[in-house]
Structure 1
């Protein structure tokens, strides 16, 4: 290449020579000499540039050929003159377009107005830009308070506008790159000019600011993980070193404290009851040495007909599953259920329990020691009295854990009742409400959850996404995570009768699962931001409230009998009526697979509403 020299005002010591900065090797590879342009301070990637090797001074060809004087639309009243560097005493200036301070290189300057632009804002970025999200080319405007169509925020910044239509965006938003690496996520995030239609089935919430993402917002996202974040929050999050990644379990201050409750737990009811009820020297869980301190026979208010006899568990639940056939398993599990808390006897760590074999009445050791009155911290106005249901239709709605689908959460367990307010709380929730320490839950590994009582009219549960009025919660207010009792006390695993594998409770974000989740029972899409049960081997999922042993009647002990005055045989409480069954009293109500009262010999059914009516004179047989 013929040597070309340039006398340039920015380097009067020596002429600048147009040089080759790239060299081709014998193997065809290209070596690029590393050089930074003095004028714009950007790396030179062009094959040629103006150079002074003696002074290690380089200029882009475009920067070396910049005009010495321009009239700029941001300062149209005067000409701007190109300076080698600002002439202020400090040696630097602040660009009036982008706000960058301490600029000490090529500057277009108006001495009358003390107006300055760096070369990128003055010339290099003045070309029109074209974005995929808009049909027209956009041109940069002077700084002004504008509403940005990209980030939906008002702020003073250089902006781009097309004069034909009122479409404005901040300069920094117009220059957003894609993909980007966000430190709170494992995968690169793509820029989208609106929420992709495939992800609009459910509301999307930004994990940084916790605000909802509007379908028209610009955002960064990872589709396989259903991870969406505002474009402005990516910047905020990158600057905020305090943010933690959701998929890593971090050490939590205080979690080694023995008072910290760990959830989820397959034994949650008994662990919570024992925590506030029993002293270590009263009943030794899982220890035969404690038997001498336990009465052999007791009477309790809920079962005065016969004494309860201390019994020893011969088999635990795992042994039952391994030795019994499916019918025996169901029968064993139906029998070995505590009539006070409606939790399996086999789930307890105690080696003993109380039983009335004649009536099929069983009670955990812990449940036999429940206090008759409880003062719940979250409802200090009145005491709660222990109330036991004596009728097979004597079910109630727990005020603490009723949440899903805003339906009643029924149980025929014993309860604590505030008669003044007609509030009833099941034993498990009453025990949970007595927690004054923190909770470590696998669904939120960043921080401990604390007991929380809402004063708001409505709140939304992070785990199930349903709203409910007030009530009892576990919360991490720093992260705006609020978990209702129904979700917080879910078991870590459960089963389905058609699948030999356990279903595990899993929590978002669900990394690398690009397919949508569908509940195999109700056949609807599952919100990917909610907790769900999942079979890893078979890759299917279920809503927690769709699983029979968890849903709204999952905590009712079935098998109790009652006599009614319009049928000659006793009726048995069953979880599911047969297909094409109708109520024998109101007739027009179909009971397919619903909870009902059945006379198996006559195929006669009653719905709960009819069984509770006074004219039927419901009388229990075995209590």
Structure 2
């Protein structure tokens, strides 16, 4: 066989060559992916060419390669092929040093047994006639992978697929794995290693970027596709413009793919007339009404006699001047208007009165100026049945205050009461529909209470019931998708059993679609996820605290302003100091109507019933904080006391109020828990060496 030794000068290219870094754009891109053009990243990762020295491909995972500096020349070469030496000590032939040579006739590689023509370059041992081509000589470099997701080179040391845990996705699966010989504990599956830097998904309108950590997320988020937690030590796809985050290769929950089962179910009950939420705005009252003939009692003037007020009620509207209310009285009325900082709440449902007609006291607007009633609330059902109580509940005036046994919120509106059990609930909890359709979720949602017999489950087709039993829904912890808090096991909530989607009753029923607030001239819309192309950090325009866009909130797209849903009802400047509890989506005093003036022996001036703020300071009598408590406040001087510090209150009523505020101040358990970084101890405490077994007689 003919051969000749080579000098490196003989195989050098005729033009100067320059070193290229295929991953240079990835230096620092992962936190600011919107600053780099998507097409540039895609083009760079898809780069491929052929090495003119070894004949194998050059790709993005080699990271560095040499190319000709001349624009008219396409010469390219691996970095390790360009940096070869004239001699090689190979583990495949350790006895002698191999010399770089060039064949002049056909030859075969002694390592891979590949036939080559006479122009091949190889390493040769003249003593043993051992030949190895450049591909085998650079085998380790050919198998080495460089990836911007890890700072060290990676190499695959397995021939057959293995079952192992992937560092990138955090899951254990079978396949070809690449390992880092520097870190020792880093192992990644080839499928995750070769994922595209940029991709599109049907779940989001923007292109997503592969991100190698989740440490920049300040809110603690979850995958927007499978709705499970994301941890800081796994790779994800993200859109930083919209705070859209997703697991690698994530698929929707199994329940969302049960289209055939859903169609089967809907075909049975497609005409159910399910109530739809959220309601359009604050003026809409979804409470059911009773229109019985004997429900309304009127005096000789035609005024309504209602159990909730000591005086007859007059209907206020602007249809005609012949109405019982005079034109001057109608003009003097101001409906609820947050833009003008005017509050007019119904004494029955404790919700805004924003449209006429409605009822007011007929004895003039100075004597009972704080009393108002929706026309629909004057016709509420007087008797109802409730899952939580075995007896019939009767509608009655609440008195000064009561504690709703279902939503756990204080209320001074109408109450449904059971005298036998001492059971009280507000009219909203008493009128909860058993099934709703919410805009935030595509499927119907059903009311769950510990005492209910789940009638929707009984009438569900057998195929769906079998699926639900397989999922073992009864044993899972449930979290509200609006406020992201764990739902009490004994609480009530709405559920979509097919999709594992849950909403507590407050978030499902008490947040209207649109609100008006004095901080924005436009209506604000209820949002269920971060806003697309939102720049900067979210904060609330009312309380000026940070806002977590993973929870439901109100947003104005024209002004790019956001408000906590719990702060939405705080329309007065003085209410900024009221703690709205941002852990929840609904204002904790949503069932309270403040106002009215009383005379008490504790102070010389009349006192107003209001919610305590930071500016109110401490109680004049007990010295404790007044913020977020029910207080009696003098508008003429700085006197202010807790409502339970009033001299006329009984000791039992005081204890009940104190316990009520303790329950309100309890922080609910959040859904997402931080998981510590994984710590891998590679070296054991004791190194065990293999021992030779003792010889035995045969």
Match of 1:170 among 176, 183, 189: 189
The answer for the alignment partner of 2:588 in structure 1 is 552
CA distance in 1, matches of 2:629, 2:527: 28
The answer for the alignment partner of 1:450 in structure 2 is 446
TM-score, normalised to structure 1, is 0.63
Distance 1:419 1:508, change over 3 A: farther
Aligned ranges 1:174-253 → 2 under 5 Å: 174-195=193-214, 197-199=215-217, 201-233=218-250, 236=251
Match of 2:505 among 480, 485, 500: 485
Distance 1:232 1:272, change over 3 A: same
Distance 1:423 1:270, change over 3 A: farther
The secondary structure found in structure 2 opposite 1:272 is coil
Distance 1:612 1:363, change over 3 A: farther
Distance 1:569 1:448, change over 3 A: same
- Deviations 1:141-197, CA, capped at 9 Å, x for gaps: 2322211111212222121123451222112122222111222211111112221x3
CA distance in 1, matches of 2:434, 2:254: 36
The answer for the alignment partner of 1:536 in structure 2 is 557
The secondary structure found in structure 2 opposite 1:176 is coil
CA distance in 2, matches of 1:545, 1:238: 30
- Deviations 1:331-369, CA, capped at 9 Å, x for gaps: 999685321111233347xx4536444534333333223
CA distance in 2, matches of 1:572, 1:273: 30
CA distance in 1, matches of 2:203, 2:403: 41
CA contact (8 A) 1:336 1:362 kept: yes
TM-score, normalised to structure 2, is 0.57
The answer for the alignment partner of 1:296 in structure 2 is 302
CA distance in 2, matches of 1:144, 1:228: 29
The answer for the alignment partner of 2:636 in structure 1 is 601
CA distance in 1, matches of 2:488, 2:301: 44
CA contact (8 A) 1:566 1:616 kept: no
CA distance in 2, matches of 1:421, 1:232: 54
CA contact (8 A) 1:564 1:616 kept: no
Match of 1:371 among 373, 376, 381: 381
Aligned ranges 1:583-598 → 2 under 5 Å: 583-586=619-622, 588-591=623-626, 595-598=630-633
The secondary structure found in structure 2 opposite 1:425 is strand
Q: How many residues align?
A: 470
Aligned ranges 1:305-454 → 2 under 5 Å: 305-312=310-317, 336-347=344-355, 351=357, 353=359, 355-357=361-363, 358-360=367-369, 361-376=371-386, 378-379=387-388, 381-390=390-399, 394-402=400-408, 409-417=409-417, 423-431=423-431, 433=432, 435-439=433-437, 441-444=438-441, 446-453=442-449
The secondary structure found in structure 1 opposite 2:204 is coil
CA distance in 2, matches of 1:253, 1:324: 53
CA distance in 1, matches of 2:253, 2:196: 14
CA distance in 2, matches of 1:345, 1:468: 31
Match of 2:177 among 146, 151, 159: 159
The secondary structure found in structure 2 opposite 1:155 is strand
Aligned ranges 1:51-70 → 2 under 5 Å: none
Shift of 1:533: 1.4
CA distance in 2, matches of 1:474, 1:239: 19
Shift of 1:494: 2.4
CA contact (8 A) 1:579 1:593 kept: no
Distance 1:346 1:173, change over 3 A: closer
Distance 1:238 1:567, change over 3 A: closer
CA distance in 1, matches of 2:340, 2:372: 12
Distance 1:306 1:218, change over 3 A: same
- Deviations 1:547-580, CA, capped at 9 Å, x for gaps: 3167222432222233323234432213466935
CA contact (8 A) 1:259 1:437 kept: no
The answer for the alignment partner of 1:570 in structure 2 is 606
